[in-house]
């Protein structure tokens, strides 16, 4: 199969199929999405664009870039799920195109195309690329920094691609561009946006310098000299200066405006604290947590992970001068810089290492391109195992999705049919390879990835969670909010309450209530107010409700599976007792 001329359009099209359909269909998923979106909603309502707040209190967890992006999304698509998620989807699509260009520069057009397709259609792109969190802005900014570094430091071969062996020399202008991109990454998620890319660049430059055959002396002396050369060649001080120029003004302003409270909490609690110990129960093994995360996140391209890993290591260790070796060393340095520090961190979350995915996709792209143009009997045999694993994943989806649906949304059991996509794709890939059409086999792989991930992510969440959650719970309040401002309080309710109920209040937030006396005081100050209550605390709240209050609605919040109650004054007309299926109580429990 000849390589298409419009590779970038193909990458963009498949990325769009994964990222854009039904973007606003599922409700915001607790806890991270609504926390970020509710903070942005408060900015939208108040006009305060500097100090992030959540329900009226200072939010120290994340910097402000994601909130500014949400404000742009709200202006374009409305204050809703689409507006909150659209910036992440568009930035992720752009990151896929940048990955295509990085692969093109390092390994040629074919490898670049497969790299872009691998990133565009892997599972984690579908999950986090459609989420209203800072992960997508961080991944975009760091991928942009990597591309600018490649453009500014690469010594291309005679054909304009690849990277000649030798020391790394980053130009001053490129260093400023890299620093600016890292500065945006710092605005997205903090110091990791500068420190880890710099570690990758210096590590790669040191590796390159250490391979210089002209170096003499002991091994420690050679590596020390290589580090000095790598440090000078990557211009880290210039990069850091540019990053400070981009991120520094907001950090300085929020520090002044909050008396240092935001900066202290962010750096000490949510950076050093998360590294030194597990927070919010997010922990895992230093050795296997992130390898498993990456295998799952790169699905279905991880079906050939052993082949890709072997090919990457062999390429990086080669000294043939083919031109692919330095590029692969850069990708390995980039992966190590993101995976190792977070493996040592006490707090672990799957999204922490998403900036490593473009480099993983680059390794996949080179492997696929080499498998097509330089086939070998051994790799062909192992690729048949990859198609077998792909088919097995289809069986797992076909069995697993109905089981999940049985407990959450029985009517969504049909999602098991998505398992047919990898089954058919594996059969097609096997057939094409058997006929010697490896390019078509790889194309079937990409189409399978797009179809499987696209259906699971674009359709699955709406079927499993679209009929429940806080969005549905507070929908009955919209007619009342249209008549004038309303007051909503939350009692041990999930963060999604702050976004969905906050859209109906004048302030863009809800009142967090932690004790029954606070509930009583809130209702005394705001007659006719409504409450969103975790059903586990129904008796505590019921003891302090004024006469005439009742349960108006009840839903299950996903993914926590918590039962939530909407409590408010009974309508003017006589109300029938509301039996809540599966809850074991009726609304009269909360009547006084």
Residue 345 has pLDDT above 50, yes or no: yes
What pLDDT, on the 0 to 100 scale, is given for residue 117?
98
Query: What CA–CA distance (Å, rounded) separates 340 from 14?
Result: 31
> What's the rounded Cα separation, in Å, for the pair 192 and 291?
20
Q: Tell me the mean pLDDT in the region 44-73.
A: 94
pTM here? Answer: 0.91
Q: Do residues 397 and 419 make contact, with C-beta atoms less than 8 angstroms apart?
A: yes
Task: Specify the DSSP class assigned to residue 56.
Answer: T
223 in Cβ contact with 206 (< 8 Å): yes
Tell me the CA distances in angstroms from 488 to 194, 216, 497, 504, 568, one per residue in order. Answer: 41, 72, 9, 9, 9
Given this model, what pLDDT does residue 577 score? 37
Write out the two tokens for 421: 């996509």
What the block records as the tokens of 18 is: 């994964």
Read off the pLDDT of each residue in 490-496 and give the average, rounded to a whole number: 92
- At 322 the pLDDT is 62
d(CA 277, CA 440): 48
**Number of CB atoms found within 10 A of residue 48's CB:** 12
For residue 285, what pLDDT is reported? Answer: 86
Distance CA 136, CA 32 (A): 13
Give the whole-angstrom CA distance, residue 35 versus residue 401.
28
- CA gap 422, 52 in Å, rounded: 43
Identify which of 247, 228, 227 has the alpha carbon closest to the alpha carbon of residue 239: 247
Q: Residue 407 to residues 514, 530, 558: CA-CA distances in angstroms? A: 30, 30, 12
Q: In this predicted structure, what is the pLDDT of residue 378?
A: 74
Whether 574 shows a pLDDT value over 80: the answer reads: no
**What is the pLDDT confidence band of residue 162, given thresholds at 50, 70 and 90?**
low
> What pLDDT, on the 0 to 100 scale, is given for residue 228?
92
Positions of E strands within 21-139 = 53-54, 57-58
Calculate the CA dihedral of residues 73, 19, 308, 181 and round it to 10 degrees: -10
**23, 86 in Cβ contact below 8 A?**
yes
Confidence class for position 585, pLDDT limits 50, 70, 90: very low
Provide mean pLDDT across the span 305-325: 85
Average pLDDT, the chain: 89
The pLDDT > 90 percentage for the chain reads 69
What pLDDT is attached to residue 17? Answer: 97
- The confidence score (pLDDT) of residue 584 equals 35
Tokens standing for residue 229: 């050369």
Whether 589 has a pLDDT exceeding 50, the answer reads: no
> What local confidence, expressed as pLDDT, does residue 2 receive?
46
Find the mean pLDDT for residues 381-385: 92
Q: Which of 438, 441, 475 is nearest to 553 (CA)?
A: 475
pLDDT above 50 for 592: no
pLDDT confidence of residue 405 = 84
Q: Are the CB atoms for 104 and 137 separated by under 8 Å?
A: no
Token pair 């794709």: residue: 425
Q: What 3-state DSSP class applies to 83?
A: helix
- pLDDT of residue 572 exceeding 70, the answer is no
Enumerate the H helices of 494-573 as residue ranges.
Answer: 496-500, 516-525, 538-542
Residue 149, SS3 per DSSP: helix
Read off the pLDDT of residues 437-470 as tens digits, 9 standing for 90 and up: 999 999 999 999 999 999 999 988 888 765 568 8
Q: In this predicted structure, which of 92-101, 139-148, 516-525, 557-566 has the lowest mean pLDDT? A: 557-566
pLDDT, tens digit (0-9, with 9 covering 90-100), for 176-231: 999 999 999 999 999 999 999 999 999 999 998 888 777 777 788 888 888 999 99
pLDDT confidence of residue 142: 98
By DSSP bridging, strand 511-513 and strand 562-569 are unpaired
483 burial (CB, 10 Å; 0-12 / 13-18 / 19+) is exposed
127-152 pLDDT per residue, tens: 999 999 999 999 999 999 999 999 99
pLDDT at res. 275 = 85
Q: Which residue has the tokens 């605390």?
A: 537
Please report which confidence band the pLDDT of residue 233 belongs to, taking 50, 70 and 90 as the band edges.
Answer: very high
* Nearby residues of 158 by Cβ (< 8 Å), 6 or more positions away: none
Instruction: Respond yes or no on whether the N-terminal peptide bond of residue 559 is cis (omega within 30° of 0).
Output: yes
- Assess contact for 155 and 126: CB atoms under 8 A: no
How far, in Å, are 88, 181, 298 from residue 33 at the CA level?
A: 11, 24, 22
CA distance 59 to 85: 20
- Which helix (H) or strand (E) segment holds residue 138: the answer is helix 135-153
Residue 303 CA to residue 39 CA, distance in Å, equals: 39
| Of 45-59, 334-348, 402-416, 540-554, minimum mean pLDDT range | 402-416
CB 363 within 8 A of CB 312: yes
pLDDT given at position 453: 97
CA–CA distance, 59 with 266 (Å, rounded to integer): 9
pLDDT recorded at residue 409 = 77
What is the percent of the chain where pLDDT is above 70? 93
pLDDT band of residue 235 (cuts 50, 70, 90) is very high
Q: In the predicted model, is pLDDT for residue 590 greater than 90?
A: no
Question: Which pLDDT belongs to residue 3?
Answer: 52
Provide mean pLDDT across the span 358-378.
Answer: 92
Distance CA 81, CA 73 (A): 9
Main-chain dihedrals φ then ψ at residue 31, nearest 5 degrees: -110, -25
Q: What does the DSSP assignment read for 12-48?
A: HHHHHHHHSTTTTSSPPPTTHHHHHHHHHHHHHHH--
Residues 567-574 have a mean pLDDT of 72
Can you give the residue ranges of every domain in the chain?
7-374, 470-590
| Residue 436 Rama label (left phi>0; alpha psi -120 to 50; beta) | left
Cα separation of 204 and 123, whole Å? 28
């Amino acid at each position: 199969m000849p390589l298409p001329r419009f590779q970038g359009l193909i990458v963009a099209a498949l990325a769009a199929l994964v990222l854009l359909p039904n973007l606003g269909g599922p409700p915001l998923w607790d806890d991270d999405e609504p926390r970020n979106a509710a903070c942005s909603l408060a900015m939208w309502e108040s006009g305060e664009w500097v100090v992030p707040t959540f329900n009226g209190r200072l939010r120290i967890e994340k910097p402000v870039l994601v909130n500014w992006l949400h404000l742009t999304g709200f202006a374009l698509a409305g204050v809703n799920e689409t507006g909150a998620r659209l910036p992440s989807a568009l930035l992720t699509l752009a990151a896929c195109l940048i990955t295509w260009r990085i692969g093109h520069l390092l390994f040629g057009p074919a490898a670049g195309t497969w790299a872009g397709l691998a990133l565009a259609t892997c599972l984690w792109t579908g999950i986090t690329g459609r989420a209203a969190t800072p992960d997508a802005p961080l991944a975009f900014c760091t991928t942009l920094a990597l591309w600018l570094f490649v453009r500014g430091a690469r010594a291309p071969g005679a054909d304009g691609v690849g990277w000649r062996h030798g020391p790394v020399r980053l130009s001053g202008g490129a260093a400023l561009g890299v620093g600016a991109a890292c500065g945006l990454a710092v605005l997205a998620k903090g110091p990791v946006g500068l420190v880890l890319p710099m570690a990758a660049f210096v590590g790669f430059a040191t590796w390159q310098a250490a391979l210089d055959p002209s170096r003499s002396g002991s091994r420690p002396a050679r590596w020390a000299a290589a580090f000095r050369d790598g440090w000078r060649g990557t211009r880290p001080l210039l990069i850091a200066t540019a990053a400070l120029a981009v991120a520094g003004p907001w950090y300085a302003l929020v520090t002044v405006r909050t008396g240092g409270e935001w900066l202290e909490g962010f750096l000490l609690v949510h950076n050093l604290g998360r590294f030194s110990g597990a927070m919010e129960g997010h922990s895992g093994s230093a050795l296997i947590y992130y390898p498993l995360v990456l295998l799952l996140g790169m699905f279905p391209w991880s079906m050939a992970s052993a082949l890709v890993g072997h090919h990457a290591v062999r390429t990086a260790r080669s000294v043939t001068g083919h031109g692919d070796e330095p590029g692969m060393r850069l990708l390995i340095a980039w992966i190590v810089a993101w995976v190792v520090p977070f493996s040592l961190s006490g707090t672990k979350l799957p999204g922490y290492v998403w900036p490593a995915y473009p480099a993983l996709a680059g390794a996949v792209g080179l492997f696929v391109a080499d498998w097509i143009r330089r086939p070998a009997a051994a790799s062909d045999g192992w690729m048949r195992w990859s198609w077998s694993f792909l088919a097995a994943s289809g069986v797992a989806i076909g069995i697993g999705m109905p089981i999940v649906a049985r407990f959450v949304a029985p009517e969504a059991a049909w999602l098991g049919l998505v398992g047919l996509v990898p089954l058919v794709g594996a059969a097609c890939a096997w057939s094409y390879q058997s006929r010697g059409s490896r390019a078509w086999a790889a194309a079937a792989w990409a189409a399978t990835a797009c179809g499987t991930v696209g259906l699971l992510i674009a359709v699955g969440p709406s079927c499993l969670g679209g009929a429940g959650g806080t969005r549905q719970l507070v929908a009955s309040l919209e007619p009342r909010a249209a008549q004038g401002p309303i007051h909503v309080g939350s009692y041990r309710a999930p963060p999604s309450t702050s976004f969905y109920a906050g859209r109906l209040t004048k302030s863009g937030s809800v009142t967090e209530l932690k004790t029954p006396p606070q509930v009583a005081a809130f209702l005394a100050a705001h007659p006719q107010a409504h409450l969103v209550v975790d059903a586990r605390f129904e008796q505590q709240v019921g003891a302090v409700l004024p006469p005439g209050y009742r349960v108006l609605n009840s839903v299950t919040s996903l993914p926590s599976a918590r039962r939530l109650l909407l409590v408010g004054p009974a309508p003017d007309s006589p109300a029938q007792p509301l039996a809540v299926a599966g809850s074991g109580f009726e609304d009269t429990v909360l009547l006084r």
